[in-house]
Amino acid sequence: AVPIAAFTSEETPGIAPISDIVFVDTETTGLGGTGTVPFLIGVGSVTPSGFEIRQYLLPDYSDEAALLGDLRFEFSPETSLASYNGAAFDLPLIRDRLVLNRVARDIPCARHFDLLHSARRLFKRRLKDCSLVNVEREVFGHVRGNDIPGYLIPSVYFEWLNEQATDNLQLVLAHNRQDILTLFYLCHEIAAAFATDGKTLGEIDDLH
Span 12-36, mean pLDDT?
88
- This prediction has a pTM of 0.91
- Confidence class of residue 202 from pLDDT cuts 50, 70 and 90? low
Q: Are 189 and 202 in contact (CB under 8 A)?
A: no
State the Cα–Cα distance between residues 188 and 6, nearest whole angstrom.
10
Span 49-87, pLDDT tens digits: 999 999 999 999 999 999 999 999 999 999 999 999 999
State the Cα–Cα distance between residues 187 and 84, nearest whole angstrom.
11
Number of Cβ within 10 Å of residue 129's Cβ equals 11
- Confidence class of residue 205 from pLDDT cuts 50, 70 and 90? low
Burial degree of 144 (CB within 10 A; 0-12, 13-18, 19+): middle
- Does the pLDDT of residue 40 top 70, yes or no? yes
Span 111-131, pLDDT tens digits: 999 999 999 988 888 888 999
Span 173-191, mean pLDDT?
95
